[in-house]
Structure 1
């Protein structure tokens, strides 16, 4: 059996690297089962167990399937693995979900019951803010409180205008360690608009928005097109940034942008 400290060290390592994983914990066992309550396993997005143990093949398939699904929709699951006769008593079928519990059939000779809680651990979404305008400063503050990892790209002399952030970069160059899951907002507002926007369209992102009027955004897109930026890249730009709530002040504009990012982030996760 792996030591608890090994699993905790791995969890800490994955979190520091921003790598998504699921933590499976056995919360209850009835009759004879290979794993006992408290047993844990760390499961990666590809379905592999990198540390820990939750029993043999009787439980592995159902738990791994639940872990993969949890990492997609961000929702925790309770998996109850039971022998066929117990499923019949509860009038449920293997693979059925009822009252938040996913039922699976235990086909091992032990015929025990095991309940496993599967919790997805997802990295904080990364928001890159280009610029040090009042909107940029308000956005960094509000988005951080909403759980975003904040990276600010702005001239070093402007960094002092920000409150608490996670990373500060001198200038408008987008860091090379980004991914298609990143959110990028250009809030330069007249100071380096073209340079920041051109750098942003060259990197993958989940959301790219420009803080400014439609007229200003159209002019910048025309300028970027002349410099060789493709039409498909230009189409990824949300302009003006944020949900239309009639925002006027920097705080209100920041609020509308955060609301739009949350809508995109949570899209498809909430069920009625």
Structure 2
């Protein structure tokens, strides 16, 4: 049965389609209304990455602009939002201005003659982050297994004869040809450890990635840096690589090194969220 108020079937189908396509979207839900409003509590809409409502309904133009703006911002930073759309005199009575955020609520002005208020929760639904593990070293195997438990889509770049060592990979690439989907966070770790280091590092530098790391010593990375600079690769780009990979937790075993790398990736991924540190 279709829920007329919320378009539940439409919402579920649209959300499932976008998730299957690996596309980000935001789910807007009306959580409270005061006085006359076109949409009532429980009404929902799906907003795609272009800022277009592709399913559901949350009322007319009185709140649409504020909702779409909040949805775009939520998709950009991955954080949910609660917005309150109110007539200008009510905003003034509360001592807030349109566009101001106070105690977690973002306020927007409603131009509707009905003078109703709507509170809408915006939840971003983002594709799973992609972790590309390059190489078949023990650290690579441990990292692929650990990352899969934390919700990462794992792609393994390793020779065909080494692929059997990986049980958690969802993508298997027998070369270093990396790829990612638009709107997906991409993290790349070179864990070749002596088997094709230079080729893998070059591929990592040419990939569209939010984070790149190299499993190896500073001395080895310095040597590779000289070679790559001699080949015309910008030193500034090479210097974005985290080397040695991972946070310094005193790791020794492959599993511990993998843990330190995933911790560093998590720090990078959650930067700016929950009031966390802004790491470079």
Query: Do both share a fold (TM > 0.5)?
Result: yes
Q: Distance in 1 between matches of 2:86 and 2:165?
A: 58
Q: Distance in 1 between matches of 2:163 and 2:52?
A: 42
The one of 158, 174, 177 equivalent to 1:173 is 177
Q: Distance in 2 between matches of 1:179 and 1:115?
A: 28
Counterpart residue number, 1:94: 98
Counterpart residue number, 1:28: 32
For 1:231-250, list aligned pairs within 5 A: 231-250=235-254
| C-alpha spacing 1:234/1:82, structure 2 compared with 1 (3 Å) | closer
1:71-99 CA distance string (max 9 Å, x none): 22222122222334544554444333333
For 1:184-263, list aligned pairs within 5 A: 184-263=188-267
Task: Give me the TM-score of the superposition, normalised by structure 2.
Answer: 0.87
CA contact (8 A) 1:127 1:184 kept: yes
SS of structure 1 residue aligned to 2:220: helix
Q: Distance in 1 between matches of 2:183 and 2:59?
A: 35
2:126 pairs with 1:138: no
Q: Distance in 2 between matches of 1:211 and 1:241?
A: 5
* Offset, 1:120: 0.9
* Offset, 1:52: 2.2
Q: Distance in 1 between matches of 2:47 and 2:242?
A: 36
Counterpart residue number, 1:162: 166
Counterpart residue number, 1:53: 57
Task: Give me the TM-score of the superposition, normalised by structure 1.
Answer: 0.89
* Offset, 1:207: 1.1
CA contact (8 A) 2:130 2:184 kept: no
CA contact (8 A) 1:179 1:204 kept: no
With 76-85 and 237-246 compared, the bigger mean Cα shift is at 76-85
CA contact (8 A) 1:155 1:172 kept: no
Q: Distance in 1 between matches of 2:79 and 2:183?
A: 22
| C-alpha spacing 1:270/1:92, structure 2 compared with 1 (3 Å) | same
Counterpart residue number, 2:69: 65
Q: Matched residue pairs, number?
A: 272
RMSD over equivalenced CA pairs, Å: 2.3
CA contact (8 A) 1:131 1:172 kept: no
2:41 pairs with 1:42: no
Q: Distance in 2 between matches of 1:179 and 1:122?
A: 8
Q: Distance in 1 between matches of 2:222 and 2:183?
A: 26
- Structure 2 spans left out of the alignment, 5+ residues: none
CA contact (8 A) 1:84 1:105 kept: yes
Q: Distance in 1 between matches of 2:87 and 2:182?
A: 46
| C-alpha spacing 1:175/1:69, structure 2 compared with 1 (3 Å) | closer
* Offset, 1:180: 8.4
SS of structure 2 residue aligned to 1:270: helix
- Structure 1 spans left out of the alignment, 5+ residues: none
1:14-71 CA distance string (max 9 Å, x none): 2122222111011222322111222211123342222222111211122122212212
For 1:70-81, list aligned pairs within 5 A: 70-81=74-85
CA contact (8 A) 2:133 2:157 kept: yes
